[in-house]
Structure 1
Amino acid sequence: MLGDMMNQMQEMQEQMQKQMAEQSFTADAGGGAVTVTCNGAREITNVKIDTTQIDLEDVEGLEDLLVVATNRVLEQAAEYEKSQAGSMMNNMLPGGLGSLFG
């Protein structure tokens, strides 16, 4: 019984990781001057810089925008992962007990 439950948990976790990697999140900073995209596994997949909106001589400003956009997109991915993990827990527990975890 416990072994079956552990196998089911592992399968669900693997399925969730695959689903997370397929998700895409995008965030920007500076009104779209910098846009960063990541997947649900929190891997940065794209960075776009709109050179018409920034001063290329202001390296420090560009770095700041990159940090802000990256933090925003990673936060989106983390929130999504948190909601998926909660959903997985609700699905695993017997009727009504899933709500104990949020």
Structure 2
Amino acid sequence: MNMQSLLKQAQKMQKELAKAEELLNEQTYDSTMGGGVVKVTVKGSMEIETICIDEALLEKDGKEDLEEMLKSAINDALSKAVKDKEQKMNALTGGVKMPGGF
């Protein structure tokens, strides 16, 4: 295999990885806590998309419970996003760690 062919192959893989990362950044991941009274959706770009809190929960004196459920739901949704991104990128790269945040 000559260098030019190898370079073209690397460039093609870089474009595929960039496209996959862009798609993953737009993917959403949901998590619910407390039997569905707290729902969090995050994007693969690690941005919080939505937080929904059942009104019945707001009427209680459970500020600490609400805070804990929010924290747990956010961490769970972010964990799902990270795992999905790692799996999909590893599938593209054959498990080889790529430089530059890929």
Match of 1:28 in 2: 32
Q: TM-score, normalised by structure 1?
A: 0.76
Match of 1:64 in 2: 68
Alignment: residue pair count? 93
| Inter-partner Cα distance in structure 1 for 2:40 and 2:67 | 13
Match of 1:40 in 2: 44
Q: Select which of 77, 80, 83 maps to 2:81.
A: 77
Contact 2:57–2:66 (Cα < 8 Å) also in 1: no
The higher-RCO structure (CA 8 Å, 6+ apart) is 2
Secondary structure in 1 matching 2:11: helix
Task: Tell me if 1:19 matches 2:23.
Answer: yes
Task: Tell me if 1:51 matches 2:55.
Answer: yes
| Offset, 1:4 | 2.8
Contact 1:27–1:69 (Cα < 8 Å) also in 2: yes
Aligned-residue RMSD, C-alpha? 2.3
Secondary structure in 2 matching 1:48: strand
Q: TM-score, normalised by structure 2?
A: 0.76
Match of 1:9 in 2: 13
Amino acid at match of 1:63: E
Identity %: 28
Deviating above 6 A after TM superposition, structure 1's stretches of 4 or more consecutive aligned residues are none
